A = this chain, B = another copy of it.
Amino acid sequence: MTTLSRRDALSWLGGAVLGGVVAGVGGVVSTAREGFAAKTAASPALWTPHKLDAAECAPLAHAGYWYEGLGCCYGVFESIIGSMGRKHGAPYNQFPFAMMEVGKSGISDWGTVCGALLGAASAFALFWGRKERDPMVTELFRWYEKTAFPMYTPAPGAPGLAGPLPTHVSGSVLCHLSVSTWSLATGIDANSKQRSERCSRITADVAVKAIEIMNAKIDGAFAPGLKSTAEAGCVSCHGKGKASPILKGRMDCTPCHGGSVHVQDKFHKHP
């Protein structure tokens, strides 16, 4: 790709940052490639996946949610990658697992993506690049949009709260919609321990579905099947190459663009 040495390339970049040197496109690309190549040598691009027993991992995901309050993203990720580490050692058990608290409550309580889904997608990303991974993520996310959560029943004595919980289909992969629509539908405080228990059970539910998808992928039997009717209609005008190609994303359009009373003007016409 280039004959620049890494030292030359990094020197060049330093010059470029200071505005002192101008070089061609190859220079910058090589700078990035050289830096990344040095790193990649110590850190292989992708790991080898192993099949897991979802029934073994589900209670670990549920317990992981409660472990030191690390939450949903950690719970799913640790139940998958941690389980591989307990069976196969390195590199799985070398991952800095505490990092996966990042997805708790939709990233630091912001309510963006459901952290359980982020934990699963992150685990997938250790093994598969985007071309193979994206359909796996889409299958998992579409399933989440359509599912009445929670489904998992913890074993007697598990951490958290025992007993049944009401279910709800949120229609969205966003933590904000997943939690707030459940609280609105059930009357249960979004800040309650019951709501936390709901999310710990969804952590187990997502781990089970993610492992099902991973196992099928490893077996060469993964066949994505779930579609979004709303998205299909909207992309016919707003997708790539269409009249108004402004749409970014694959989330179901309905919750925010379907005329729900919940997304009307709450600042001036609030009930």
Where the two chains meet, the residues of A that have a C-beta atom closer than 8 Å to any C-beta of B are: 13-14, 16-17, 19, 22-25, 27-29, 31-33, 35-36, 38-40, 42-47, 55-56, 58-60, 63-64, 66-67, 69, 78, 82, 85-86, 91, 93-102, 104-113, 117-118, 121-122, 124-126, 129-130, 133-134, 137-138, 141, 155-159, 173-176, 178-180, 183-184, 189-191, 230, 233-234, 240-241, 245-251, 253-254, 256-259, 262-269
**Contacts A91-B96, A130-B101, A157-B27; A110 near B141 (Cβ below 8 A):** yes
**A155 CB, min distance to chain B CBs, angstroms:** 4
**A117 CB, min distance to chain B CBs, angstroms:** 8
Contact B112 A134 (CB under 8 A): no
A106 CB contacts on chain B under 8 angstroms: 113, 248-249
**Contacts A43-B97, A104-B130, A267-B257; A245 near B189 (Cβ below 8 A):** yes
Contact B249 A13 (CB under 8 A): no
**A53 CB, min distance to chain B CBs, angstroms:** 9
**A242 CB, min distance to chain B CBs, angstroms:** 10
Q: List 24 A-B contacts (CB under 8 A).
A: A14-B56, A16-B158, A35-B86, A38-B86, A39-B85, A43-B93, A46-B98, A101-B129, A105-B249, A107-B117, A108-B134, A109-B250, A111-B250, A174-B174, A176-B248, A179-B248, A180-B249, A183-B245, A183-B246, A189-B246, A190-B247, A233-B267, A258-B267, A259-B268
**A156 CB, min distance to chain B CBs, angstroms:** 5
* CA of A93 to CA of B35, assembled, Å: 11
* CA of A174 to CA of B35, assembled, Å: 30
A96 CB contacts on chain B under 8 angstroms: 43-44, 47, 91, 95, 126
**A178 CB, min distance to chain B CBs, angstroms:** 8
A189 CB contacts on chain B under 8 angstroms: 240, 245-246
A111 CB contacts on chain B under 8 angstroms: 248-251
By CB atoms of chain B within 10 A, which of A43, A55, A129 has the most? A43
A32 CB contacts on chain B under 8 angstroms: 60, 63-64, 66-67, 159
A256 CB contacts on chain B under 8 angstroms: 256, 263
